[in-house]
Amino acid sequence: MSNCCKNKTTTTTVTPSKLTIALCGNPNSGKTTLFNILTGSNQKVGNWPGVTVEQKLGSYKKDSSITIVDTPGIYSLSPFTIDEQIAHKYLMEGKPDLVINIVDSTNLERNLFLTSQLMELDVPVVVALNMQDEAKAKGIYINKDILEGYFGCAFFAISAAKNQGIDQLMDYCIAGSYQSKTHFAYTTPVEDAIAKLQPLTDALDNKRWVSLKLAEKDKTIIKMLNLEDSQKQLITSTYNNLKEQLGDIVSAQIAQQRYEQISAIVAKAQTVDRKGVKTEKAQHITEQIDKIVLNKWLAFPIFALIMSLVFVVSIGTLGGFLTDLINEQLTPWMQDVVNGWFENANVEWLRSLVVDGIIAGVMGVVGFVPQIMLLFGFIAILEASGYMSRIAFITDKLLNKIGLGGRSFVSMILGCGCSVPAIMATRTIKNINERNATITLTPFMPCSAKLAIISSFTTYILGGNALFAISFYFLSILSVILGGLIMKVFNRKKTNASDTFIMELPTYRAPTPANVLKQMWERGKSFLIKAGTIIFTASVILWLVQSFNFRFEFVNDANDSILAGIGKLIAPLFAPLGFNDGGYGWQYSVATLTGLAAKEVVVSTLEILLPNGLTGTISGLGAYSFVVYNLLTVPCVAAISASFTEQGNWKNGLKSVAFQLVTAYVVSLAIYQLGSLANKYTAEFVIVVSLIAIAFALYFAIRYMIRHRGCNYECDHCPHNETCTRDDRK
């Protein structure tokens, strides 16, 4: 090991003003936690990989001329997934003045792989050995002097979650005089190849890294260079001429040498003293919990139970109580007060605009803030504790069957908050079909805005029964599964190998109350901001189109308004879904359109158009079908545009939109029509449905038997495997 590093003793000096510091490290190493402390911002922190998908900028709390950049988590600089490419490209092109490499001290060996690659770049690096608290608890001690000896650059021991050691780290970063780093040396063939490439790469930034990649015959690095296309072409052709002389260097060989050197360094720098260590206890507890929650039979029932409890409390009992307080006390009180002001003034239109338009529309949405904040409080707890990672883990295998994977699950859960970040989070998915399917299916999840629709209908029409609210979530999940299967059939021939999902399961951690409260507040705040802007504007426009007729005369009966005209035009389309079964078909039809602006607007539209509220305006079955339609149909414009941009071409974007519209229509139609039939002919209906089900089962059973005539083998051991025509052949 003694000659593994080339030592340089120079220092790099950077002017302190306008410093850009990038945070870079493995997923789940604490980058976002540190970013939040440094900038005072509230980026989402999750105890799983893939939560930060593009770099976020913020300015340092104590000195606003310093910019901090949070980059996506990466295990290495060899980019496979889109987020790895983003991080790599940023380091190559973005030219930060300094990189803080965040290392999870409890996983030193794996984290130093990236560190060793960062050493090959031309940017100064400081390493923050994070999670010191946890490392200490696990009996892990890291001698940072030894690490500094090998890597050259400065190492700091910190704990981002406990805000320890961060000031010393930042003082060093700001002082601007950085210890120079040293890179690993490789075996002679590799170093020779790098030397041969020197004339080609000498003028480039990050020349050692570029040479190394080219020596591995990885030409994609040329694309990453910050150069004109013509220059890149020149480099490619020169490289092609040189290639023969480089010898046969395999990237696996280089990675292997890296691992060996790191192993040797870690063996010297790290001591682990497991005797009487408290965390063995934490680890032990984690293992005990996992035995139960990851159990083959118990995992899903436990998940369903936990989610049901969360919904009962946040939508039903506590959340429902708070929402009622707003909708039944605060809103009528506000309307009374404003009505009082207008009592003697002769401006009926203004009173109507404020009371029936703005207050009804905006407060109809504000009422759901307590439920949404509670729900997101619980989700924050599940995320931060590490339980969500388990769920992603156990769902991965299952999701593979429908052409998705554990990473899609991460998107789905994010989608319960908002489809926009959820769609962006699909960048961590390598397989293009899986990614597009996830983008199309994620909006089926009930985002926080749709929660307003779910809870208002559950409260006012479906008798306040939390079971209905839960059933909508299960229906969403079912639609994702069926949608995934359908898309898998369409994509069958195009599918390449599925993306293997590697996720480490973090030890369970107690969530910090501050972080949970912060996320609740963030969610509530963005909801209120939306209420004050989009929903306010939409309410005013809606009031206008429902208060005037096509001749721009003020009308007292909304039935004569412009909006009614449009609504009645599209209402027949929705009649088969049951929207008209209380005689308010056009109002319900219009609400599905205005929901394009934002899903909360569905509720505020109905608040404005139905003068006496939802109660009695639609049957229970019609209401159920209406909610389902709005859950599954195209999301709001913000999410639609994210879907188009992320899929990178408008054809796929349109396909997603069509898929969502058709699914929503067909599922709602089926629910309403089958439900009506069941209502009318209870006994006959049950018999017919059973007969159809039996016919299907028979058909598939017979087909299976015909195909398997004479074959009693399990697929894995079957001698006919090559010639077998079974669809599900493994």
Binding-site ranges for Mg ion (CB under 5 A): 32, 52
Q: Does 73 bind ligand GDP (CB under 6 A)?
A: yes
Does 356 help bind ligand GDP (rule: CB under 6 A)?
Answer: no
Enclosing H/E stretch for 676: helix 650-680
Regarding 388 and contact with ligand GDP (CB under 6 A), the answer is no
Partner whose footprint covers residue 643, from ligand GDP, Mg ion, none (CB < 5 to 8 Å by kind): none
Nearer to ligand GDP, 33 or 519 (CB): 33
Residue found by looking up tokens 């990189």 in the block: 99
Distances (CA, A) of 399 to 292, 356, 389, 427, 610: 21, 46, 15, 17, 42
Q: How far apart are CA 367 and CA 360, in angstroms?
A: 11
Distance of CA 521 to the CA centre of its chain: 19
Q: Is 370 left (phi over 0), alpha (psi -120 to 50) or beta?
A: alpha
Task: Fill in the per-residue mask, 105 to 144: x = in contact with ligand GDP (CB under 6 A), - = not in contact.
Answer: -------------------------xx-xx----------
Dist CA 597 CA 480 (whole Å): 23
The residue type of 606 is L
Q: 32 vs 471, which CB is nearer to Mg ion? A: 32
Q: Residues 352, 338, 595, CA angle at the centre, nearest 5°? A: 50
Decide if residue 461 touches ligand GDP (CB under 6 A).
no
Q: How far is the CB of 79 from ligand GDP (least distance, A)?
A: 17
Contact indicator for 196, 183 with CB cutoff of 8 Å? no
Tell me whether residue 159 or residue 656 sits nearer to ligand GDP (CB atom).
159
Residue 39 touches ligand GDP, criterion: CB under 6 A: no
User: Binding partner of residue 33 among ligand GDP, Mg ion, none, CB under 5 to 8 Å per kind?
Assistant: ligand GDP
Q: How far is the CB of 169 from ligand GDP (least distance, A)?
A: 12
Q: Quickly list DSSP for 369-409.
A: HHHHHHHHHHHHHHHHHTHHHHHHHHHHHHHHHTT--HHHH
Site for ligand GDP in 51-70 (CB under 6 A): 51-52
Residue whose C-alpha is closest to residue 665's, from 657, 653, 677: 657
**What binding mask, one character per residue, do residues 588-627 give for ligand GDP by CB under 6 A, x or -?**
----------------------------------------
Q: Confirm or reject binding of residue 261 to ligand GDP (CB under 6 A).
A: no
Return the residue matching tokens 């990178």: 648
Find the binder of ligand GDP among 19, 31, 358, 577 (CB under 6 A).
31
Count CA atoms closer than 13 A to 223's CA, side-chain side: 8
Smallest gap from residue 28 Cβ to ligand GDP (A): 5
CB 43 within 8 A of CB 70: yes
Among 384, 449, 503, 534, binds ligand GDP (CB under 6 A): 384
131 or 381: whose CB is closer to ligand GDP? 131
| Options 45-53, 266-274, 624-632, 678-686: segment touching ligand GDP (CB under 6 A) | 45-53
- Residue 173: how many other CB atoms lie within 10 Å: 25
With binding defined as CB under 6 A, does residue 319 bind ligand GDP?
no
Please say whether the beta carbons of 22 and 98 come within 8 A.
yes
Tokens at 443, concatenated: 């909006």
Q: Which does 110 bind (CB under 5 to 8 A by kind): Mg ion, ligand GDP, none?
A: none
Stretch touching ligand GDP by CB under 6 A, among 2-10, 59-67, 153-161, 290-298? 153-161
Which listed residue (21, 24, 27, 379) binds ligand GDP by CB under 6 A? 27
Q: What is the DSSP letter of 425?
A: G
> Residue 133 CB, nearest distance to ligand GDP (Å)?
5
Q: Minimal CA–CA distance to 398: which of 293, 304, 485?
A: 485
Rank residues 137 and 603 by Cβ distance to ligand GDP and give the closer one. 137
b or e along 28-53 (b: 16 or more beta carbons within 10 Å of the residue's beta carbon)?
bbbbbbbbbbbbebebbbbbbbbbbb
What DSSP element (H or E) covers 526? helix 513-530
Select the span of 154-162, 238-246, 322-330, 393-401 touching ligand GDP (CB under 6 A): 154-162
Contacted by 130, from ligand GDP, Mg ion, none: CB < 5 to 8 Å by type: ligand GDP
Q: Output the smallest distance, CB 89 to ligand GDP, in A.
A: 19
Among Mg ion, ligand GDP, none, partner that 384 touches (CB below 5 to 8 angstroms by kind): ligand GDP
Pick from 589, 573, 671: nearest CA to 622:
671
**Amino acid at the residue 434:** E
Site residues for ligand GDP per CB under 6 A: 25, 27-33, 45-47, 51-52, 73, 130-131, 133-134, 159-162, 384, 509
